[in-house]
Chain A
Amino acid sequence: NAGVTQTPKFRILKIGQSMTLQCTQDMNHNYMYWYRQDPGMGLKLIYYSVGAGITDKGEVPNGYNVSRSTTEDFPLRLELAAPSQTSVYFCASSYTGSGILTEAFFGQGTRLTVV
């Protein structure tokens, strides 16, 4: 069982370049999330999705875009990379429903450096 898979694991971008971080899950989870983690900090929510076709902003959405065309996939797009976006990005998924405890399953992360 693969769980949550993120690609790539590492990437270096130049300022102004764009890229897409891929995330896929095979657990049929309805919720998916993108977090970023900066050194010494916790996880900050960028965007989340409660199901295919539905996305919403989290705490730090500026400079990012997402889409959710299928239950399995939740790509994160950086259009104009900036040094402030240097971080480790984690995708997560969970099954959330009435009376069900939410457990988030995380991918291994993408370490992005913008130079």
Chain B
Amino acid sequence: TQLLEQSPQFLSIQEGENLTVYCNSSSVFSSLQWYRQEPGEGPVLLVTVVTGGEVKKLKRLTFQFGDARKDSSLHITAAQPGDTGLYLCAGEGSGGGADGLTFGKGTHLIIQP
């Protein structure tokens, strides 16, 4: 079973601060995805990273895939209250979508105005 460990589990910071959340595994993934989930809703895909060392930017969000494709990070610059939510990382194994995505437990992020 492939496991994804996310840290921190909870994070509450002030508007305007920067933050980084991590997603780590001992397994290699063919791709890794980040989702954001708001209360009462299903997760929504933010980004997919595929290549080791890849960096993708989505406005104030920067995603990085580790060189060995076992870990990833999400960095938010100048956090805003609208960034509040549950951030989930999900790994896709070498078997493609056949086994479904393996999800981490998530990071609960609260941005205080």
Contacts and interface: CB of A to CB of B under 8 A. Distances in A.
The answer on A and B forming one complex is: yes
Interface of A: 4, 31, 33, 35, 40-45, 48, 50, 58-59, 90, 92, 94, 96, 98, 101-109
Interface of B: 1, 4, 6, 9, 31, 33, 35, 40-45, 48, 50, 88, 90, 92, 96-106
Given A102-B97, A104-B35, 5 more contacts: A40-B105, A42-B6, A42-B88, A42-B104, A94-B97
Nearest to A58: B100
A10 to B, nearest CB: 10
A36 B92 CA distance: 18
A106 B43 contact: yes
A59 B40 contact: no
Nearest to A3: B42
11 contacts: A31-B97, A31-B98, A35-B103, A41-B106, A42-B103, A43-B90, A58-B99, A103-B48, A104-B35, A108-B41, A109-B40
A38 B92 CA distance: 21
Contacts of B97: 31, 50, 94, 96, 102
Contacts of B35: 104
Contacts of A58: 99-100
A43 B88 CA distance: 9
B106 A101 contact: no
A85 B40 CA distance: 18
Contacts of B50: 101
B88 to A, nearest CB: 6
Contact of B101 (A4, A104, A109): A104
A109 to B, nearest CB: 6
B42 A107 contact: yes
Contacts of B9: 40
A42 B105 contact: yes
Contacts of A44: 103
